[in-house]
Amino acid sequence: MEIAGAFGDLGTLVPFVVAYIGVLKMDPFGVLFAFGLAMIVCGFVYRTPIPVQPMKAAGAIATTQAAQTIVIAPAMVWAASLTTGIVWLLLGLTGTARYVTRFITRPIVLGIILGLCFGFMIEGAKMMAQNWWIGGAALLGTSLLLTNRVIPAMFLLLLFGASYGILNDPTLLAALREVRIELRLPELALTRLTLNDLLIGTVFLALPQIPLTGLASRLTNEALAHSHESGFFEVIGCPRSGLEGGL
């Protein structure tokens, strides 16, 4: 189940990371190095499964260029990350975050989780309809392995998806052969931030992201962390091992 959990979190991480790298042309080394370091730190500090994810609201805005008159650059994403981090650091150090969450009741937290689950299910159904026999085969395999504690379903899904993608488009394999792996030291990009980057990143990316982080990440993680005492999994009708693995 530990292996299953390691792959289960990739379902939302990979699309946003690919968008940041492919659309915004952000440095892959910087993005992946930061994620890996954050996951290791969270594991040693909290000793419990905590998902380390891209900023979804900021990523959706940046990659779709929602602000029609403004082109989002990587530096603006750096600025949004910096602003978001400072805000939550201050809320945590001052205790304000815990005070604010007292006004948000348990049903709201459950509603957030259920809403996200239904959203993913609906989007998944739409994608499956585009190629129903591939989607049906993946759904059948997932259903058979959902409670299997030996073979992680998500790992096989990733292999299945990658194999189908290569068979459907053989040029992908040739592109992978051209990838070169090399080691280098990370660079400090904050020194290249301008006031314009900071303003646009804060207003257009960080401000929409902060409420989402507070509700969908901060509150749900706290609820899941205390789930063994509160019966959280039984309330939402999910098997405890499966949801823990998914996180």
37, 193 in Cβ contact below 8 A?
no
Give whole-number Cα distances, 4 to 49, 104, 227, 238, in Å.
12, 31, 19, 16
pLDDT in tens, 134-187: 888 888 988 888 777 777 777 788 788 888 888 888 888 888 888 788 788 877
Confidence label for 244 from pLDDT (cuts 50, 70 and 90): very low
Neighbouring residues of 142: CB distance < 8 A, sequence distance ≥ 6: 153, 157
Q: Which two tokens stand for residue 156?
A: 């096989």
What is the DSSP-derived secondary structure letter of residue 26?
-
Query: Which of 158, 154, 159, 161 is closest to 4 using CA atoms?
Result: 154
pLDDT in tens, 85-121: 898 888 888 888 777 767 666 676 677 667 767 877 8
96, 233 in Cβ contact below 8 A?
no
Q: State how many domains the chain has.
A: 1
Structural domain span for residue 101: 2-246
pTM of the model: 0.64
Measured torsion, CA atoms of residues 12, 103, 42, 88, in degrees rounded to the nearest 10: 90
Query: Which of 29, 49, 30, 52 is closest to 39 using CA atoms?
Result: 52
Measured torsion, CA atoms of residues 106, 112, 113, 116, in degrees rounded to the nearest 10: 170
- Stretch 15-42: mean pLDDT, rounded? 84
**Residue with token string 């993913």:** 120
Question: Residue 168, Cβ neighbours under 10 Å: how many?
Answer: 10
